[in-house]
Amino acid sequence: MVDKKMTPFPGLGLAMAALMALPLQVSAQTPTEQAGSDKLTVVRDAETGQLRAPTAAELDAMQLRADRNLSLGTRAATQANLPKVHGSGARGVRVTDDLVGYSVVVRNADGSLSKRCFESKAAAEAALKRPDFAVRPSFSAKLETE
Amino acid sequence: MRSNSPKSITLTALAGACLLACLGAQAATIVISSRDAPGVGFNDPTVVAPVGGNPKTTLGEQRMFVYRHVADLWEAAISSPATITVSAGWEALTCTASSATLGSAGAWNFWHDFSNGTPNRWYPQALANKIYGSDLSAGQPDDGSGYGNVDIKTQFNINLGNTGCLDGLPFYLGVDGNAGSKVNFVTTLLHELGHGLGFAIGLTSTASGRHVNAEGSAYVTDGGVPSFWEDFMFDNTVNKSWLNMTDAERTASAINPLKLAWTGVNAVAGALATLKPTPVINVVTTAPGATGKYDYATASFGAALPASGNLGTLANIPAASNNELGCNAFDAASRAAVFGKVALISRGTCGFVVKVKNAQNAGATAVLIKDNAPGAPAGLGGSDPTITIPSARITQAAGVTLSAAVAAAPAKVGSRGTPGNPGVVASLGTDPTRIAGADALGRPLLYTPNPRIAGSSVSHWDVSATPNLLMEPNINSDLTKTLVPPKDLTVPLLKDVGW
């Protein structure tokens, strides 16, 4: 593929290795499962004992716990934030896939598509598991149904 | 903005000035670098037919053509002396037959305390470079990935449309907007690159309100370095900008619906040129105190409410039915009460679709769900393709007022010597004094749903904006490629933060 402003990048293997070890938001109470190259965040339902996708509130709680310990540099052993220092004294950081936005799509019962953007992989994947995701475009992601 | 008021004319002129500024003499260079291996992603040799203005004849080439097309749109919209670098790849992301992760994108490096920037603010690298005047990561050792110093990292789903991955609905790789039932890759990528350029709060946690420390290594409590966005985020409830809040206050502000405004002058001017008046239900009745305008939020099911025109005469479900919540099939008296009318039904006990379906079965022409808790009306969720009538939610206070009005002034046909009463009649319209998606001062609102929608909060415009904007959390099918007023507010916000 040649593009007028495109340059090839070396290090594909390392890139893929990094992507296959995306950081995981977990807590002491939350077991995890690993599906292929994607690590999903799951919780054990207090009533049923079964593993399920976390609710938005549970994701928030996990985020809070993660923040307390953060650890931007140790959230994932294989892909850690990388602090930088510029010669001028400016400080920088190369982040991880935790902090990039994700777009997801669901096919509604009427055949239409709902597309929505989330700020993290965990949030996007949790949203895909929620039955109320499939709503008419222009609606919020978490519409009450009763 | 569509009214003829002097205020509107002045604001339109301001917005026009912004528009000219936004469009004037932009210059940026965006370099897209593929991470894909030979034969896959951008290098997929599968032969395809040209589509929608995309002349390329292999799948890989068509993918890159769209990337380049979108990058060209951004190049025309912003300016920078530093080359903007994007690392792009096509990967197998999460899928089911009916849902999929489309892709992801975001700023890959952040900087603070560089020359010409606002001190003590984390900026995404592309913007930091523009403000600084050159690439801050130049000379930095790579992290081993080969793309550790890029401004933006993206990846999209290589399997979309294949069996088991939103079956049969691949990305539409045309650039003419005629995506039909497919996923429009142009608008999806345009949105995501917008985040990478700076349409996102960045490192500040919206869940905890915390900032990242100066070293970029950890979140800290009530300290750290704020995001470059926080100068422009103002909460109308506590009358504070995010800069002046505690962590706890920021956390609360992130879930304060319709109260977090963007104060940047470009976006505010743009909002007044772009956003339209708030849609309302106009009610007329002889019952004292009930005539007026009522806010509503529409449903994810049934027919869409039109923007204007008659809605109908309101009706209560008789209390004697013991079915005022509408959760059961309507009895004869209830059917008679709502037939041909707009049923007022209280929220509670059963799903919205159950209530609306029961009212539809009874012959109601529409339903207004009366909230059972205070607060601004939120949309009605649920799905039932057999529902064909429109419905909407009104506030608890509105519900009390309107049901009382129906009881006080029921519709009745007059007879000789006995005047009739039209009842409580509702129509659809707008409130020209309020802008949809903006606060009382005309400042555009950020998305702050409660409960917080993990991940999608704050870094988008609120979904109440009309018309739909590129940087709402929902990537709507009616979006165009326009990034400036009077169609869109993306570029004005980016101007506010330094682009």
Q: Who wins on pLDDT, B381 or B319? A: B319
The span from the CA of B168 to the CA of B162, in Å, is: 6
Alpha-carbon span B292 to B290, nearest angstrom:
6
Whether the per-residue pLDDT at A75 is higher than 60: the answer is: no
The structural domain count of chain B equals: 2
Instruction: Decide if B154 is inside a domain.
Output: yes
The string of pLDDT tens digits covering residues B401-417 is 999 999 998 887 777 77
Map tokens 């890959």 to a residue.
B108
A72, B218: Cβ pair inside 8 Å? yes
Task: Write a three-state SS string for B115-136.
Answer: CCCCCCCEEEHHHHHHHHCCCC
Q: What is the least distance, in Å, from the CA of B20 to any CA of chain A?
A: 28
Which residue of A lies nearest to B350 if distances are taken between CA atoms?
A146
Backbone angles phi, psi at B172, to 5 degrees: -85, 120
Nearest CA in chain B to A141: B453
Determine, yes or no, domain membership for B453. no
Cβ–Cβ gap B112/A84 under 8 Å? no
Residue B380 inside a domain? The answer is: yes
Distance of alpha carbon B150 from alpha carbon B197, whole angstroms: 12
Per-residue pLDDT for B271 more than 50? Answer: yes
> Do residue A100 and residue B153 have CB atoms under 8 angstroms apart?
yes
In whole angstroms, give the CA distance from residue B43 to residue B35.
Answer: 10
Per the domain annotation, does B451 fall within a domain? Answer: no
Q: Is residue B375 part of a domain?
A: yes
Do A101 and B36 lie within an 8 Å CB cutoff? no
Kindly report which listed range (B26-30, B364-368, B476-480) carries the lowest average pLDDT score: B476-480
In SS3 terms, B252-263 reads as HHCCCCCCEEEC
> A84–B208: do the CB atoms touch at under 8 Å?
no
| 3-state class (DSSP) for residue B289 | coil
| Residues on chain B touching A139 (C-beta within 8 angstroms) | 300, 379, 381, 463, 474
User: Among the three residues B435, B465, B493, which one is the final residue of a domain in this structure?
Assistant: B435
Distance CA B370, CA B88 (A): 48
B194 shares its domain with B281: no
47-66 in chain B: CB under 8 A from chain A: 60-61, 64
Which pair of tokens denotes residue B52? 């929608």
Q: Do B454 and A73 touch (CB under 8 A)?
A: no
Nearest to B26 by CA among B102, B101, B81, B104: B81
Q: Do A106 and B98 touch (CB under 8 A)?
A: yes
Paired with B260 in beta bridges are B235
pLDDT (average), residues B439-463: 83
Q: What is the pLDDT of residue A125?
A: 76
- Domain interval for residue B154: 35-198
- Are A116 and B188 inside 8 Å of each other by CB? no
Instruction: Looking at the structure, tell me whether residues B190 and B60 fall in a common domain.
Output: yes
Buried b (16+ CB within 10 A) or exposed e, B407-421: eebbbeeeeeeeeee
Measured between alpha carbons, how far is residue B377 from residues B4, B257, B295, B325, B372 in Å?
29, 10, 7, 18, 11
The answer to whether the Cβ–Cβ distance between A136 and B455 falls below 8 Å is no
Among the candidates B159, B179, B198, a domain finishes at: B198
End position of a domain, from candidates B198, B226, B259: B198
With an 8 Å Cβ cutoff, is B76 touching chain A? no
For residue B31, give the chain A residue with the closest CA.
Answer: A5
The distance of B288 to chain A (nearest Cα, Å) reads 31
Residue B317 lies in a domain: yes
The confidence score (pLDDT) of residue A50 equals 54
On whether both B194 and B287 belong to a single domain, the answer is no
Mean pLDDT estimate for chain B: 91
CATH of the domain at B385: 3.50.30.30
Which of the residue ranges A53-57, B20-24, B235-239, B446-450 has the most confident prediction, judged by mean pLDDT? Answer: B235-239
> Contacts of residue B109 in chain A, CB cutoff 8 Å?
84, 92-95
Both B191 and B282 in one domain: the answer is: no
Give the span between the Cα atoms of B121 and B115, in whole angstroms.
Answer: 12
* Contact (CB<8Å) B37/A12: yes
Chain B residue with CA closest to A54: the answer is B454
Task: Please report the residues numbered 144 through 173 in chain B whose beta carbons come closer than 8 angstroms to any beta carbon of chain A.
Answer: 144-149, 153, 155, 166, 169
Amino acid letter, residue B134: S
For residues B233 and B241, give the distance between their C-alpha atoms in angstroms, rounded to a whole number: 5
Same domain, B70 and B183: yes
Same domain for B142 and B281? no
In this structure, is residue B353 part of a structural domain?
Answer: yes
Question: ipTM beyond 0.95?
Answer: no
- Pair B425, B338 in one domain: yes
Query: Same domain, yes or no, for B192 and B322?
Result: no
Amino acid at B232: F
Identify the band that residue B98 occupies on the pLDDT scale cut at 50, 70 and 90: confident
Confidence of residue B248 (pLDDT cuts 50, 70, 90): very high
Between A9, A111, A118, which is nearest B87 by CB?
A9
- In angstroms, the separation between the Cα of residue B218 and the nearest Cα of chain A is 5
| B55 and B182 part of one domain | yes
Q: Which of B40, B104, B462 to mutate to test the interface with A (most CBs of A within 10 A)?
A: B104
Rounded to a whole number, what is the distance in Å from the CA of A75 to chain B's nearest CA?
A: 10
In the three-class reduction of DSSP (H, G, I as helix; E, B as strand; rest coil), residue B99 is classed as: strand
**Could A101 and B98 be called an inter-chain contact, meaning their C-beta atoms sit closer than 8 Å?**
no
pLDDT tens readout for residues A89-129: 999 999 998 778 888 888 766 676 778 888 777 777 777 77
- Going across the sheet that includes B292-295, the strands are B292-295, B277-284, B425-435, B309-316, B342-346, B366-370, B391-394, B297-298
Whether residues B42 and B137 share a domain: the answer is yes
Instruction: Name the nearest CA neighbour of B341 among B369, B360, B318.
Output: B360
Higher pLDDT, B124 or A114: B124
Chain B residues inside the 8 Å CB shell of A143: 300, 378-382
**pTM beyond 0.80, yes or no:** no
Which pLDDT does position B418 carry in this prediction? 76
Query: Across the A/B interface, how many CB contacts are shorter than 8 Å?
Result: 344
Decide if B473 is inside a domain.
Answer: no
Residue B294 and residue B186 share a domain: no
- Distance from the Cα of A76 to chain B's closest Cα (Å) equals 12
Q: Considering only residues 280 to 309 of chain B, which have any Cβ-Cβ distance to chain A shorter than 8 Å?
A: 299-301, 304
Burial category of B298 from C-beta neighbours within 10 Å (exposed 0-12, middle 13-18, buried 19 and up): buried
Judged by a CB distance cut-off of 8 A, whether residue B454 touches chain A is yes
pLDDT digits (tens, 9 = 90+) for A40-63: 444 555 555 555 555 655 555 555
Q: Chain B closest CA to A49's CA: distance in Å?
A: 24
Same-domain status, B427 and B308: yes
